[in-house]
A and B are shown apart, each in its own frame.
Chain A
Amino acid sequence: MLKHSSKNGKPIPGKTGIGLRSPHYREILASLPAVPWMEVHSENFFSFGGAPIHYLDQIRSHYPVSLHGVGLSLGSADSLSRKHLSRLKTLVDRIEPCLVSEHLSWSSIEGCFLNDLLPMPYTQKSLEFMCRRVTQFQDFLGRRILIENVSSYLEYKVSSIPEWEFVAEVSSRTGCGILLDINNIYVSSLNHGFDPYRYLQSIPEKGVLEIHLAGFERHGDFWVDTHSRPVCEAVWDLYEFALRRFGEIPTLIEWDADIPELPVLIDEARKADLIAQNIHATTS
């Protein structure tokens, strides 16, 4: 059975944490705010030197830390990069994260990286391919990973499986957990015109191990997942629905552009916990 968390890393609580970003490193270490857990982008620490890893080493001694990858390009027809995998493994061994996650997407082909999370075509063949990839990744790390649904702005004609089925199948066939990004579901639902509640209802109740929340922006005719704003009302509603379906799931507020002061970020996380508390109060 693959492990849910590492032996020595702090376990992750079913509460809302924040994405740890460099402008907040010092303030967090100086004030040690009451934040239940934090998540970092794995690649930001791949060189294992200087200030970034120094701060992460300290922060992990105070908080459970999750490693969230953005650059493995899991769904690329290229082979997985051995260099990338080994660096991640070294980081995992050093940080002992409570969770390790990556995206259900691709970002490179023939060695050329676009460094963006591009959607997979959703077909039987690509489903089997993605399952082999997730298994290879889990085997390499020797632990269970989480895969995240991405926001998307295009749909391929060749796709024959709804995204929610694809996500659910990858999880059930490989045993990996699902990192459900509710903002991504909402953004994609606006861009492609599907019902986001139907998406949530199609995800197996036991498969979700983490939830992401973030803000987006409208750019012309489309809604773009910019991580630059507070979480919108419609996403809070979906979040409440998700918690009722999936239970108390570790949740994360992601904010990557126009990063606000730390208290604003922490308030956003508390908003999420308040929703969870209200659900708990009304159901118990």
Chain B
Amino acid sequence: MQQLHDLQCKLAKTLLDPGETGFEQYLVSSSPESRKRLDVYRSNVFGALTEALKAAYPVVLKLVGDEFFEFAASQFIRRFPSRSGDLHEFGREFPQFLAEYAPASNLPYLPDSGSLDWACHEVFFAPEPVPFPLERLGKIPEADFHRLRFKLSPVCRLLSSRFPVHRIWQVNQAETSPLQEVNLNEGGVFLLVQRTGFTIQLIPLSRWDWEFLSLLDSGEEFGGVFDYIRKDKTDFERSLPLKRFISKSVLTDFSI
């Protein structure tokens, strides 16, 4: 299907790049009319992808407003085109794009606010976790504990920022009065995003708890993670944090 492939490649390129010309020759209508017909599709494509991005990044949208967001979205769509037929998967790279996006450089907290939006978007749709297999854990000999690898719940995400992005998120929720202000100098945050039922909670953690979970989440063995943290935080408890995060359903599985 070389002919079909070529036609589809050319049309896709034409729709994503407004400067791209020449596809008119493949259409029945006259050239000026063909350009208008292609614009209908272009507006559909960019419209749907922009709406999907707005739905995934509600706080970024509120921070920058419709006009700025839509312009940034149009650039983003060209640089990071959608890779899935499921629109919920579109837009993962938007925070990265915002970090390099010159017009947003005076809003240094915008990329991290975007990362928080995306974390919330992902946990909103994430599958329900299965309960932690406590019985199976009970059968592991104490001597093997250091080799355990724990899994973060599918409805949890970890995120850190040098800005108080959790406060920015809170005052930019739809139901919050727009008059509240956030002091950007109040410092950063180590955050756990967790969905319980259908409610998404932002839970600030201590730096050490956050490091502990992040390292476990990256696949490191429990023993290595504990030793690493103990180097800087000499009074870090061995089993208490583990018990706490298991009981709060933050860790939902393990392997050895």
Q: What is the interface of chain A, defined by CB distance below 8 A to chain B?
A: 43-44, 46-52, 54, 70-73, 75-77, 81, 84, 87, 106-116, 118, 121, 125-126, 129, 153-159, 191, 219-222, 224
Contacts and interface: CB of A to CB of B under 8 A. Distances in A.
- List the 10 shortest-distance A-B pairs measured between CB atoms, nearest first: A71-B85, A77-B5, A47-B125, A49-B127, A113-B82, A109-B8, A155-B28, A153-B40, A43-B86, A154-B37
A122 to B, nearest CB: 11
B3 A81 contact: no
A107 B40 contact: no
A87 B125 CA distance: 14
Contacts of B21: none
Contact of B8 (A50, A76, A159): A76
A51 B44 CA distance: 28
B187 to A, nearest CB: 31
B38 interface: yes
A113 B88 contact: no
A116 B28 contact: no
A71 B82 CA distance: 12
Given A50-B155, A118-B11, 13 more contacts: A72-B85, A73-B85, A77-B5, A108-B12, A109-B5, A112-B82, A115-B90, A116-B41, A125-B3, A154-B41, A158-B7, A191-B37, A222-B37
Given A48-B127, A112-B12, A118-B41, A71 B34 contact: no
Given A112-B12, A156-B26, A50 B7 contact: no
Given A43-B86, A155-B29, A157-B26, A116 B44 contact: yes
Interface in B5-33: 5, 7-9, 11-12, 15-16, 25-29, 33
Interface string B74-88: 000000011111111
5 contacts: A72-B85, A113-B82, A115-B85, A116-B48, A157-B25
Contacts of A115: 45, 48-49, 52, 82, 85, 87, 90
A71 B4 contact: no
B8 A106 contact: yes
B27 A157 contact: yes
Interface residues on B, range: 35 or more
B130 to A, nearest CB: 12
A110 to B, nearest CB: 6
Contact of A47 (B4, B40, B41, B126): B126
B36 A222 contact: yes
A113 B83 contact: yes
A107 B28 CA distance: 21
Nearest to B9: A109
B15 A114 contact: yes
A50 B36 contact: no
Given A71-B87, A109-B8, A114-B15, A49 B128 contact: yes
A121 to B, nearest CB: 6
A237 B124 CA distance: 43
B28 A77 contact: no
Contacts of A111: 83
B7 A121 contact: yes
Nearest to B44: A116
A73 B33 CA distance: 27
Contacts of A221: 33, 36
A159 B124 CA distance: 44
Contacts of B90: 113, 115
B1 interface: yes
A75 to B, nearest CB: 8
A111 to B, nearest CB: 6
Contacts of A87: 86
B82 A114 contact: yes
Nearest to A75: B4
B44 A47 contact: no
A50 B126 contact: yes
A193 B251 CA distance: 61
Contacts of A75: 4
Contact of A50 (B11, B41, B44, B124): B124
Contacts of A73: 85
Given A113-B81, A113-B84, A118-B41, A47 B127 contact: yes
Interface in B27-70: 27-29, 33-34, 36-38, 40-41, 43-45, 48-49, 52
